[in-house]
Structure 1
Amino acid sequence: MDRPAVEVFHYKDKEQSSNLLLQLNTLRQEKILTDVLLCSDGTEIACHRNVLVSSSPYFRAMFCHNFMERQQTKISLKGITSAILSSIIDYVYTGLISISMDVVLPLMQAASMLQYGRVFEACSSFLQEQLSPDNCLSMIRLSDIMNCDSLRSKAKEMAMESFCDVSASEDLCELSLPDLMGYLEEDGLCAQEEQVFDAVVSWIHHDPLSRKGLISDLFKKVRLRYVHPTYLFQFIASNPLIQSSTLCTELIESVRRLLFSVSTKLLEDTLMDFRRLWVAPRRHTYHDNMVVVGGRKNNEQTSRDTLIFDEKSQEWQRLAKVPVRLYKASYVSLHSVLYVIGGLNAGTECNKVSRTVYTLSLKTNQWRTAEPLLEPRFAHQSVSYLHYIFVLGGFGHDRQLTDRVERYSSMFNQWESMSAMPEAVLYPAVAATNQRIYVFGGEDAMQSPVRVIQVYHIARNMWFKMENRLVKNVSAPAVVMNEKIFIIGGYTRRVMAYDTKANQFSKCANLKERKMHHSATVLSGKIYMTGGRYINSHDVVEDSDTLECYDPKRDAWTVQGNLPYKLFNHGSLTLTCSSQKWGNS
């Protein structure tokens, strides 16, 4: 059979362009058909005008418009060395160029002048590879001189990410006021607010005569809400620069009134004057991390494990182990530090009731001890608010249910007794918001559910309680989100949202099983529930290893994965850290 005729055959020679360039370069080297000499430092480089015109808008304008160079056979290029010019002409004919620290700056200048954009960006890429915290600010100044946006963007990114290192450099002290302000205003600045303050002080001390008067403007850029109170009131407040500024001392006094005032009206007045500064968001480089600690592991033994959830990889990583096995301890976070409080010391023969307080910071991934409780206790509840931790109820050293309340001040590392709860309860749901601690339900000494909401006014150190038939939870966690308190399960599938201002409950999507002894925390605007125990369809209690998530926008629960093992009576907390790196243990 005859093959059908092909009307058109499109042939593309992939080697034609490169071969043509190679031939042109050979002609140049042999000075065949060259029609112009580029001169620098007494050196003449023979070239083809049409090749130069095709390679650069600079030469196109020179040779194709009514400039005098159009008629000249020798063109002198000032400000470019012969070596750099030769290197660029080699690039024009071969597409190859060598960049090193010795030549990158003059090469970049020449590429800019002669309008070889890809060479210019290649120099920028080379400099970006040399970036370090020690030179990134210098690179920013260089990028401004060179008008190189890509280098400036990369160098500023490093300065933001490595601000802790950069702030200790001499280059930071050389920044202009607008440039320093620009960094301090960035949400993406990777530094703790204490370090931001130290950078401000260092910058002023570099030239105190001309800069001292700028302290109040710069101090406003320190986000005081995220400064540890101890550092703020003991170190920042006593700094001579701060004391020299009336506005700075007034700002610190506003924070003091906000944290310590017993007058709600005074708090509102303080917030009105201070709101814009106080509500500044946490910098974006701070990462919220979900940490799971302690509990009963696989229903075999009390766990010493501390796990952290990596949202990107959706995997669990291990942190340093809790120093001892503690059964029915309480877990709470304050100022991005994890506290493990009290519990039964499972390492002793008689399971001694503990008053020890262990702390873990993600920055160091090391456990330390804080001031111990006034009284040993276990199966108690802990909740943090402002710079305080409150410990409520549980069993005391005599193994009797207690109504006693203790308060820990992170500023002074000190515990003190507070007003006792109106009613001693075990395993209630506890949350703190709007100057109050709310204690929902739980059970009494006879293991009967308590249908009561107990409310503690933090500033006034006073309790009151409200009967409520909707409260019937035991061993359920509570979290605060979107100005509501969510009570999750507790021998039930129910999830209730409590509006503290309206004193009203609303129902949310149910859990898949009746859950108890689980834990929950808020992360990225959602509730994450971990582990616990559940009652299956045959009314048998089983342990769980699930990680479930509640989205308030969709009012729906979804399974997000699993814990490394089944776990209950543990802590699930959100800790904030300015780094995603911590030591392995």
Structure 2
Amino acid sequence: MVRVVRPDVEKHAVCMMAELHRMKQDSDHCDFIIQAGDDVYCTHKNVLSAGSAYFRAMLRHDTKESREGRVVFKDVDSECVKNCIDFIYSGEFEIPDGSIVDLLHVAIMMQLEDVKQAVSNILADSLTIENYFSTRNVGDIYGLVDVSSRCRIFLLENILEISNQPGFESIEKDDLLTLLKLRESKLCEEEKLAVSLKWIDKFQSKSEYLHEFLEVIKIHQISSVYLQHILETHPRISNDLELYKLFTGHILKASVNVKEGNDADNLLILFDYRAHCLRSFNTRTQEMKKFHNAKCDFDESFTAILHDSYIYVLCEAKSVHRLNFVDKNSRWENMDDMICDHGWYPRTVCSTGSIFVIGGSPFTATADVEKFDSSENRWFQLESKPSAIAHASLVSLDGSIYCIGGLRDGVVVSSFCRFSPSSSEWVDLDPVRYPVSGSGAVAVYQRIFVIGGWSGEDDIDNVECYNVTSAQWTSSPSMNSCRGDNAAYCIGSWIFVVNEFGDTDAIEKYDHLNKKWCKTKVTYKFLGVFGSVMVKEMDDRGHEMSQCALKTL
């Protein structure tokens, strides 16, 4: 009886591969030469035939290469040829900087499926906004199914950012229309319109496509203020009579009242510490005026937040006050004190119908978390944050609270995490690209903008955007001014940034759909901003006031 003994098959295979690799390097018993450019590589026919279907077909027949014992590769990267030969001998390969496509080309030529798949995985995993179109083209040219599939998903998740990249016009019209119709698309109607207009702008001769795009967009769900903004500022529409008529025609078809829009004006309520009063800044008319009769005598270490029809003020000494902003004759009323000491400027956010306070002041980090139930006028202490933080930025989106940056042990950090109020669970996410504290943060549909802040040395003008769907950070255009502690509010296509310690240059706005910063016209000379909230303009009965928003031809 014959016994088969296998002491260590894997070890034997590894040793054989290593010895064959050494023999190639030392030219021991080599019988075949591969030439690429001026470089010559000595190899073994048997090894090449075993490791590559390309060489197996070449060497098993009476070919010129088989007879001469040499093959010459033209118009290929020599180093990539060497790396593919190394893979045949060792099962490993290197990717030279900037040569991943060249390596893919050689691997496909040599029919090295493992190398092709490995490179395909790297391309799919390395997909970004900036390299989307080049990666998609490589996937299409070389038939990389995994790459093409990942690109389709990535486009769906990041279409708004990708629409700003060179090459956006290469997307086929029907493909873009299909994408905008998909239920999985996270785009709001304003963003769908912005993407459509950007694609049409690439083609001076394809304005007739506007009608097809408008058919898939729910115009009636778009703010009339934003529609007016498009009519007045979009160069193709405002300067082309036919396009203007087409656009306004779709607005009328969608039953938007173009003479008396339904949108109430948005007001930024500013705490003027110089005059000890509230002032309102109308984001549409840019008019500044006194907002309420109540006097504001709070110290300068408070945080303001809007909840229901009340403006809440949270102070350093744990005291809480609120004002019914609808009733012009109301006065500040005292509420239940906070449980924990959060120090100066308590970091607060509204989420799931409650007010939350997380962390501490710029000088005292804490892990304390508590929430306020306005119906009971009562604070509840929640499970602590896993690590202490100070002066972080908070923003609420889809029932979760995102905590951005801040100070830990006096050092500015780039941490980014998500808190679930329902389960008190904290999840760490990919950090911000730079350490920041006290930045403005605002949620815009499925994106979170982090604006300005303090780097640990200086106030900064940086703007970063986090796509919640794709879990990726991208950079947005910087502000016109560096701003430390600031608050940010989204109104239609605009993000308004209020400098919490500002004077006449206190407010700046950003068109997040078209990526443009603009200065506002704050004409009040002696304004000293210290805190802000955003409200809808109300009449004396607490009803939102309508304003004229659109014009017709």
Task: State TM-score, norm by structure 1.
Answer: 0.45
Higher relative contact order, structure no. (Cα contacts within 8 Å, ≥ 6 residues apart): 2
- TM-score with structure 2 length normalisation? 0.47
* Higher alpha-carbon Rg: 1
